[in-house]
Amino acid sequence: GQQLNQSPQSMFIQEGEDVSMNCTSSSIFNTWLWYKQDPGEGPVLLIALYKAGELTSNGRLTAQFGITRKDSFLNISASIPSDVGIYFCAGLRQGSGNTGKLIFGQGTTLQVKP
């Protein structure tokens, strides 16, 4: 099935560094979502974006909905050890009959060295 291309696949950074990850697709999406998943847990919604060009922040996290509606990025500033986990982008697109199809990226595994 269709997937989003998420990069990088993994990152190993020093505490205090900034992090950037992105997702691209050949298709347009109505909504972009960013989730964080810890081992053995479900994805937790971090940021939701609804309009092309929208820039939204949640604490140290900032995400943008690409102007073409085919991409999105997530930045984490001043990383801390609890930022460790897998970050997923997800796009919602119109399905048949006003339904919404949620497509996930492959995930970015973030490790933070204290």
Chain positions 37 to 96 lying near another protein, rule: CB under 8 A, are 40-45, 48, 50, 92-95
Between 79 and 105, name the residue whose CB sits nearer to another protein: 105
**What is the nearest approach in angstroms of another protein to the Cβ of residue 20?**
22
Cβ count within 10 A of residue 92 = 16
Under DSSP, is residue 40 helix (H, G, I), strand (E, B) or coil?
Answer: coil
Asked if residue 7 binds another protein (CB under 8 A), the reply is no
Between 7 and 104, name the residue whose CB sits nearer to another protein: 104
Q: Radius of gyration (Cα) for the chain, nearest Å?
A: 14
Are the C-beta atoms of 64 and 104 separated by less than 8 Å? no
39: preceding bond cis by omega (within 30 degrees): no
Residues that bind another protein (CB under 8 A): 1, 3, 29-31, 33, 35, 40-45, 48, 50, 92-95, 98-102, 104-106
